[in-house]
Amino acid sequence: MADEPMMEADVATAEADVGTAEADVGTAEADVGTAEADVGTAEADVIVIGGGPAGENVAGRCSEGGLRTVLVERDLVGGECSYWACMPSKALLRPGEVVKAAHRAPGARAALTGKIDAAEALAWRDSIVTEWDDRYQVQWLEQAKVGLVRGHARLRGPRQVEVDTEDATIRLTARKAVVVATGSSAAPPTVRGLAETRVWDNRDATEAKSIPDRLIVLGGGAVGCELAQAFRRLGSTRVTIVEAAQRLLAREEPFASDLVKSAFMDEGIIVYTNATAIRVFRDGDDGPVTAVLVSGQSVTADELLVAVGRSPNTWDMGLETVGLRPGTYIDVDDQLRATSIADGWLYAVGDVNGRSLLTHMGKYQARMAADHILGRPAEAWADHKAMPRVIFTDPQVAAVGLTEAQARDQGIEARVVACPTESVAGTTLRGEGITGTCQLIVDRHRGVVVGATFTGPDIAELLHAATIAIVGEVPLERLRHAVPAFPTVSEVWLKLVEGYLAAGA
């Protein structure tokens, strides 16, 4: 479900006639989502295209601010994150994470007497995604007084949206703004035979009804790494990652990549880096699938997951009618308005603008866009400064802001300070064999943190402190007075700050 507060309001009904321009779209008087006939043209203050986390948040916030708001969604309200990405993937990772944590703790490991029950884990996954039923999300929209139209939306000129539903074509007019929040989809690479071969994308993997004995993963980014480890721990006997770059998680710090690769290899996950698949084929409809690498080597498995990137869902939505190019990201300014659209009526939030393909950043953008639409004063969007991100492998990689290489590319005189994650008492108490690195990137001239990376088991909860330090531009001299509790893993902050100050300016 969306994480915005449930708003107290009468549930929308389907009794009103939404076929007239006078219909009170987005209020409790009309449920435009249940239209059964050609409803002609209706008006709203704000039309949101796309009902994922970003779309839900901007719609709810606009409605709460008193604007008549309609949300259009052709799939499940809640979007990719709720049903095929963030939530199910973390549910698949959790059983293995818990078992590994018990293995690390003397006394606890003796209680482990069997293997993970994959069937039970998959059933729990199903409950997390509410069996791919969006009724609770729809209830939230109703309580928030957001009208819902189920169908495929296309722009038909400035402030004009046409929606093809199962029963009718609905034409909507936005008095104030149209917000595009259609997200992104898996982008398959150009590999001979791939288009003709039945393979998995992230949706197929997170919907899996059973655990394949052998799995190939094309792509060593966050999605590929998380799902590779999840299936290995759930029972796949052979998991192989094929990554074209020189290392896994190529956008993160090299030490993070090395730590994850080492952990994967210790678990029996085979990792090929600097490797490219040039051909894919399957033996019959349901037989084994083979990936042929540029080196000439072949890898065969029961399923092949393609996780090499994402592309914006901007095809076939009428962008050309307002002068934008279909199939591309929508360029936006700091208020999330499309930069090439006159009068500032078109907004784009979430993956579709290409600035940050992360759910929490999409929701942040939604809040900023809604505040701008509502005429509320809002500070400039801070994505260029702090973009928190977590790869939920074991060990986890939690990072925010700039890497060392990015800081130097931007001309920042950066000082790097690091310490082992296992160097504090809190880590010792978490169990045996825990390793990792915690690192800050500091702008030497200003004495403030511009980037941070933490690696280790269950390390992600340290990240928000770094995000606050970067957004707040808190000097290291001041951070020395932020005392971490003993014995917690957060004492690494004390080591990092003291290490920086001890080195001198």
In angstroms, the CA 366 to CA 372 distance is 10
Going by CATH, does the domain composed of 32-78+135-185+312-373 fall within 2.40.50.140? no
Q: At residue 214, what are phi and psi to the nearest 5 degrees?
A: -130, 140
Higher pLDDT, 442 or 285: 442
**CA atoms 146, 159, 334, 440: torsion sign:** positive
Report the greatest alpha carbon distance in the chain.
Answer: 73
The SS3 assignment for 351 reads helix
In this prediction, residues 299-325 reach a mean pLDDT of 97
36 pLDDT band, cuts 50/70/90, is very low
Strand residue runs (E) in 273-384: 277-282, 289-293, 298-301, 303-306, 310-312, 346-348
16 pLDDT band, cuts 50/70/90, is very low
At 376 the pLDDT is 86
69 pLDDT band, cuts 50/70/90, is very high
Residue 302 has pLDDT above 90, yes or no: yes
What are the extents of the domains in the chain? 32-78+135-185+312-373, 81-128, 202-309, 389-503
**CA nearest neighbour of 102 among 372, 431, 433, 344:** 431
Residue 489 has pLDDT above 90, yes or no: yes
- Express each pLDDT in 139-167 by its tens digit: 999 999 999 999 999 999 999 999 999 99
At 395 the pLDDT is 97
Contacts of 392 (CB under 8 A, 6+ apart): 89, 90, 93, 226, 460
Contact 228, 217 (CB under 8 A): yes
Beta strands at 270-272 and 238-242: parallel, antiparallel or unpaired: parallel
- Express each pLDDT in 329-379 by its tens digit: 999 998 999 999 999 999 999 999 999 999 999 999 999 999 999 998 766
Helix axes 222-234, 254-266, angle to 10 degrees: 20
- Express each pLDDT in 89-147 by its tens digit: 999 999 999 999 999 999 999 999 999 999 999 999 999 999 999 999 999 999 999 99
Residue 28 has pLDDT above 90, yes or no: no
In this prediction, residues 187-211 reach a mean pLDDT of 96
Residue pointed to by tokens 């209680």: 111
41 pLDDT band, cuts 50/70/90, is low
How is domain 389-503 classified at the architecture level of CATH?
2-Layer Sandwich (3.30)
Q: What is the DSSP letter of 52?
A: S
At 378 the pLDDT is 65
- Per the prediction, the chain carries an average pLDDT of 91
In angstroms, the CA 116 to CA 306 distance is 25
Helix axes 359-373, 53-64, angle to 10 degrees: 30
**CA nearest neighbour of 390 among 457, 441, 443:** 457
265 pLDDT band, cuts 50/70/90, is very high
In angstroms, the CA 238 to CA 393 distance is 17
18 pLDDT band, cuts 50/70/90, is very low
Q: Do 389-503 and 32-78+135-185+312-373 have the same topology in CATH?
A: no
Class of 202-309 in CATH: alpha beta
